[in-house]
Amino acid sequence: MADVLSIINPATEALIQEIPVDDRATVAEKYARARAAQLGWAALPLADRIKCILRFRELLIERVDALAALLTAETGKPITQARNEILAVPGRIDFFVEHAAQVLAPERVYAEPAVALPGMGVLEEAIAQEPLGVIANISAWNYPYFVGGNVFIPALLMGNAVLYKPSEFATLTGGAIVSLLHESGIPQNIFIPIIGSGLSGAALLEQPIDGVFFTGSYATGQKIAIAAAPKLIRTQLELGGKDPAYVCADAKVAAAAAGLADGAFYNNGQSCCAVERIYVHIDVYDEFLEVFMATVKSFKLGDPTDPDTYLGPVSRKPQLSILADQVADALAKGATLRCGGERLNRPGWYFTPTVLTEVNHTMTVMQEETFGPVIGIQRVASDEEAVALMQDTPYGLTAAVYGTDRERAVGILHQLKTGSAYWNCCDRVSPRLPWSGRGHSGLGATLSLAGISTFLQPRAWHLRAG
Ligand code: NAD
């Protein structure tokens, strides 16, 4: 009998459903189907593939209520944030569709001005863009529509077949995405789900795939890179972060505090680009803390199906002990607990929004990815001190600087190795800009033109008329 995956509602701890998982044999069979179908899909006119994706776009909007309810049920994401996520996908689709033809277009780069070889015609050089083939899309649970869609939408548009492994913590949403894409006209053998946990993901990597596009933790990303290395295939890794923000002495403090509280706690802090540590110049520290605390206290914690809820449960039970351990470690080393720091005494994996001050870099809360509703705020005496602390991480996803002087902020951001740099904003992703990480935050980029062409490989044509 096949193993099953138990889907649990993080808000109630009730079992929602049990689903059979893929094993090596079913993964191999799915791979073979995708391989057999891919060339036919790539041979279709781009307009036909675009038509399917635009139908998917319509269905997302039409069915947003049911899709958001499902996402909330299995991840605990507050329903308003679930709707926001789904309704932001059409904007990304628009970008991909608008630029697909441009990225795919063949290019004639040279034509010999006169015949160089007697008896032969002139030489022409051209570049054609070809899909990679059959790719693996191994996804995370925290934003299944975003992180999945950043991969499978451009990958399909460019003519690839996709073996899509949703996270085991967002499997029902993954299933809904698969159904919607099939209903939109994407052939069953071109977009195929692989259901299960890391074991199913590892079985997928045993197949002779042509690329792997992974979103998840640094620890798993390393395993993916090791499994993919002997295959010499395109390997893209979007991993975690320990994203810093610095509030300069010249910042508009109230706006910075409100923006950073949202950046730290949106989606319960379970965003790859969540603000994970905050440094505040001593001159504005008290004012900052006052507004920050008032903002955090205004966040409604509770039932994620309530449209007014801002903070639901965390999506994975083991995260509760990681959060509790980071808080305990910080308190043991001298931090001050301003609010939160404990589980709610009710069913569900609720952790109260937690603000720690008097923190320093000996504490895990300032060093390791928290991925939950806990933030450390550290006072600094100068820009130089802030830069040194912001640099003190192996991660490099995003960094934010708040201040009125653009040159100063940009100067600080230039000293940090991150894929995204924010001035007076944070926790922000744009389809027009590449989404990438440095160091332990990953390899390669999604979104932007780079995030479309990554699903292609160039072919050089040397054509001499006979
Ligand atoms: P995870 O690493 O636990 O799992 C990610 C996926 O990998 C899941 O589908 C899982 O089943 C699969 N997997 C696990 N072991 C595997 C193996 N050995 N071989 C193949 N597949 C395997 O991560 P998660 O808990 O789902 O996501 C949270 C992490 O993702 C955080 O670190 C977060 O920062 C990161 N993240 C990064 C981005 C980004 O864009 N940089 C976006 C979202 C999340």
368 Cα to the center of ligand 1, angstroms: 16
205 shares a domain with 345: no
215 Cα to the center of ligand 1, angstroms: 5
- Is residue 319 situated within a structural domain? yes
268 shares a domain with 119: no
Domain residues for 22?
4-239+441-464
Q: Answer yes or no: is the C-beta of 330 below 6 A from any ligand 1 atom.
A: no
Test site for ligand 1: of 215, 368, 393, most ligand atoms within 8 A of the Cβ: 215
What string of pLDDT tens digits covers the 466 residues of the chain?
A: 569 999 999 999 999 999 999 999 999 999 999 999 999 999 999 999 999 999 999 999 999 999 999 999 999 999 999 999 999 999 999 999 999 999 999 999 999 988 888 888 999 999 999 999 999 999 999 999 999 999 999 999 999 999 999 999 999 999 999 999 999 999 999 999 999 999 999 999 999 999 999 999 999 999 999 999 999 999 999 999 999 999 999 999 999 999 999 999 999 999 999 999 999 999 999 999 999 999 999 999 999 999 999 999 999 999 999 999 999 999 999 999 999 999 999 999 999 999 999 999 999 999 999 999 999 999 999 999 999 999 999 999 999 999 999 999 999 999 999 999 999 999 999 999 999 999 999 999 999 999 999 999 999 999 999 8
Between CA 387 and CA 180 the distance in angstroms is 46
Cα 399 to the center of its chain, rounded Å: 16
61 shares a domain with 86: yes
233 shares a domain with 268: no
CATH code of the domain containing 451 = 3.40.605.10
Between CA 245 and CA 330 the distance in angstroms is 19
Q: What phi and psi values does residue 9 have, to the nearest 5 degrees?
A: -80, 115
Question: Which atom of ligand 1 is nearest the CA belonging to 272?
Answer: 34
317 Cα to the center of ligand 1, angstroms: 16
Number of domains composing the chain: 2
170 shares a domain with 43: yes
Q: Is residue 272 annotated as a catalytic residue, yes or no?
A: yes
Q: Answer yes or no: is the C-beta of 437 below 6 A from any ligand 1 atom.
A: yes
210 shares a domain with 284: no
300 shares a domain with 152: no
Q: Answer yes or no: is the C-beta of 193 below 6 A from any ligand 1 atom.
A: no
Question: CA 280, 286, 289 angle in degrees (round to 5)?
Answer: 70
- Is residue 344 situated within a structural domain? yes
257 shares a domain with 229: no
Question: Which atom of ligand 1 is nearest the CA belonging to 316?
Answer: 25
The protein residue whose alpha carbon is closest to atom 19 in ligand 1 is 202
- Is residue 436 situated within a structural domain? no
Out of 52, 85, 248, 272, the active site residue is 272
Question: CA 64, 69, 73 angle in degrees (round to 5)?
Answer: 150
For 326, 340, 348, the CA distances from 299, given in Å and listed in that order, are 22, 12, 18
Q: Where are the beta strands (DSSP E) in 248-381?
A: 275-281, 336-339, 354-357, 374-380
- Is residue 388 situated within a structural domain? yes
286 shares a domain with 227: no
Q: Answer yes or no: is the C-beta of 223 below 6 A from any ligand 1 atom.
A: yes
For 415, the token pair is: 């000293």
168 Cα to the center of ligand 1, angstroms: 10
Residue 187: CB partners within 8 Å, gap ≥ 6? 37, 41
Q: Answer yes or no: is the C-beta of 239 below 6 A from any ligand 1 atom.
A: yes
228 shares a domain with 124: yes
Q: Is residue 238 annotated as a catalytic residue, yes or no?
A: yes
